[in-house]
A and B are shown apart, each in its own frame.
Chain A
Amino acid sequence: MAQQVFAYIIHKNGVADDTALEMIAAARKLDPDASVAAVIAGAGAELDAVCSELVSSFSEVWKIDNEALAYVNAEVLRSLLVRILPTDGIVLVPHEHFGMDLAPGLSIKLDAAYLPDAVDFEGVEDGKLKAVREEYSGQVSTHVHCDISQGAVITVRPGSFKADESKSAAGKIVDKTAEAMEGGLPGGARRFLEIVEAEVGDVDITKSDVLVSVGRGIEDEDNLEMIFDLAKAMGADVSCSRPIVDAKWLEKSRQVGTSGQTVKPKVYMALGISGAFQHVGGIKGAPFIIAINKNPKAPIFQAADVGIVDDILDFIPELTDRINEMKG
């Protein structure tokens, strides 16, 4: 494969995101001989700090440095990238909120193929990449063929490739700012205003040692009482998955997941939670995970240490009674 591979680097406060080194691993799986160029946008000293960190891992680091990119707006960045990227390159982008904003449109503007949310690569043959994706919130997987011969934009699921920590490159920083800015700063139709920080709730689940976490399997708002009863018996705090917040049954500050809170408990009990990757992605620090779900195929059983296949509505009240008995 003679095509150049690019990895878009997300960064914050002068530090590259965990996905940066995962992109190298993904690129190597795509093409073991690939020289991988990092592409990064930002401003000033923070950008320079990330770049100097990246040169030990990437053969080239393409940077776009401009005051207007201090907070990167995907609508602006997309137009800049189109000016500097070759149309037949392979562009890897993390599949998270920024990548999802940037990448689909980028594939159109580069007239490149688009492969969203890849979790593994299984080789390239005759210009066709064989990749693995998941559908139905991870209940089934699929193989897909993506014709990458005329270029491709591929979003890669965070955490699906093991970070390449070898730091084996002695790369160089290539300043692409002038080329990217030729013709002026694009966009303007979508203007970034501000970040509204998450509201702090009555319980800070990021500090809890034991979490009893509830998902769609609870079925009805009135049933939440049994979860709070169990948590009380255990001395635990109550957290939840996204559907519970969407239904407005619990406040957003209790949501575990990539779009909610990142938690680091010692013990995590997932009750009626299917275990979409966005949820599991919010559980860090390798806690002991217990999953209870009536669907034996629920992806949460892959993340859990111990599983119980049962309807939480039947199981939880019995468990709570037993704990209360035990404690007298």
Chain B
Amino acid sequence: MEILVCIKRAPDTSENEIEVNRDGTDIERDDLVYSVNEWDNYAVEEAIQIRDKMGGSVTVVTVGDENDEEVIRREMAMGANHGILLSDETFKGSDGRGISAILKAEVEKKNYDLILTGAQADDGAGQVGGMLAAMLDWPYASLVNFIEVVDDKKLKVGREIAGGNQEMHEIDLPCVLSIQTGINEPRYVGIRGIRKVASLEIPVHTAGDLGIAPESVGESGARTKRLDYFVPDLGEGAEILEGSTEEIIDKLLELLKAKGGIK
């Protein structure tokens, strides 16, 4: 099975506090630790497991620039066979539709059976998988937390819905699935694995290579544009308990007793 996984480099929110920069044009990026978007990492692990059972290959792809090569390499160290960087000045400022259009052009260069994306990334949009599927006219399932290969024509997939329930579907190949966290346990990638792929050449495909009209993507093609970042004024929020740990615990115990929190 030929599997393509669309990945994104994103600030690791478990390692960073995200703050808005002084003029609100961006977040503070100087000290950020970046990694592969968490959801995408589960998608790559799932692709590797399917390949190991069924044969074929796993390709990871991202839209970005030379900074994004590190996440391609990381996922190759994890076990992906190939990596591709889609990069062009004209891609900058693309909205979800633009990114999907760029990915579509890459998908059409080869005969993939299955495309996986993360269910969402740092911007919480969760849009690329569904858009890409619609552009390709392929069936789609979002928030997938279970995949079983039935045969070379179809999969059985589970979607995560409300209340911890799961919606089961049969879906024909080729298809696009967006992967929810928790579907598997992504393997650890050690320094040694990263070193092995450090000098690999990552092919770069440009707008010209992909036959993409520049005005259809990037800033000019975007119908949705981010104007600024800000910290909303959400009112008072919680009353923050201050003082020494002992004093804080005193206050907390009083509150817990009053509210029935200690039986």
Contacts and interface: CB of A to CB of B under 8 A. Distances in A.
Chain B CB within 10 A, most for which of A190, A243, A247, A319: A190
B18 A136 contact: yes
Interface of B: 11, 13-14, 17-20, 27, 95-97, 100, 119, 122-131, 133-135, 138-143, 156, 158-172, 175, 181-182, 185, 223-232, 234-235, 237-241, 245, 248-249, 252-253, 255-256, 259-263
Interface residues of A, number: 97
Nearest to B168: A193
A81 interface: no
Given A246-B181, A307-B237, A189 B175 contact: yes
Contact of B259 (A130, A245, A267): A267
B251 to A, nearest CB: 8
Main secondary structure of the interface of B (DSSP, over half): mixed
Given A105-B131, A113-B224, A305 B239 contact: yes
A213 interface: no
Given A137-B13, A195-B168, A97 B162 contact: yes
Contacts of B162: 96-97, 258-259
A290 B237 contact: no
Contacts of B27: 136, 140
A304 B255 CA distance: 13
Interface in A116-135: 116-117, 130, 132-135
Given A97-B159, A116-B127, A259-B160, A144 B140 contact: no
Given A101-B159, A141-B232, A142-B228, A210 B263 contact: yes
Nearest to B143: A97
A267 B123 CA distance: 32
A198 B230 CA distance: 38
A294 B226 CA distance: 30
Contact of B165 (A106, A197, A295, A326): A197
A57 interface: no
A255 B165 CA distance: 12
B261 to A, nearest CB: 4
Nearest to A260: B164
A295 B17 contact: yes
Interface of A: 73, 75, 78, 96-98, 100-101, 103-109, 113-117, 130, 132-137, 139-147, 187, 189-199, 209-210, 216, 233-236, 242-243, 245-248, 252-253, 255, 258-262, 266-267, 269, 274, 288-291, 295-297, 301-310, 314-315, 318-319, 322-323, 326
A108 B263 contact: no
28 contacts: A107-B134, A117-B124, A139-B13, A139-B17, A140-B27, A140-B231, A144-B225, A190-B169, A196-B165, A197-B165, A209-B260, A210-B260, A234-B256, A235-B263, A245-B182, A252-B164, A258-B162, A259-B162, A259-B164, A260-B164, A267-B259, A289-B238, A291-B238, A297-B19, A301-B238, A302-B234, A305-B239, A308-B252
A208 B220 CA distance: 53
A288 B248 CA distance: 17
A318 B230 CA distance: 37
B248 to A, nearest CB: 6
B260 A141 contact: no
A103 B130 contact: yes
Nearest to B227: A143
Contacts of B225: 144-146
Contact of B229 (A73, A78, A141, A267): A141
A143 B226 contact: yes
Contacts of A310: 245, 248
Contacts of A274: 13
Chain B CB within 10 A, most for which of A75, A107, A136: A136
Contacts of A302: 234-235, 237-238
Given A146-B224, A194-B168, A291-B238, 14 more contacts: A101-B142, A106-B134, A108-B97, A115-B224, A117-B126, A136-B13, A136-B27, A139-B13, A191-B171, A243-B14, A245-B182, A267-B256, A288-B255, A315-B245
Contacts of B127: 104, 114, 116
A101 B263 contact: no
Contacts of A145: 224-225, 227
Given A116-B127, A291-B238, A326-B253, A140 B259 contact: no
Contacts of A140: 18-20, 27, 229-231
A288 B259 contact: yes
B22 to A, nearest CB: 14
A139 B241 CA distance: 21
B238 A105 contact: no
A137 B163 CA distance: 20
A144 to B, nearest CB: 5
Chain B CB within 10 A, most for which of A75, A103, A106, A246: A246
Given A114-B131, A142-B230, A145-B225, A322 B160 contact: no
Nearest to A112: B223
Nearest to A300: B238
A80 B236 CA distance: 45
A190 B139 contact: yes
B131 A323 contact: no
Contacts of B175: 189-190
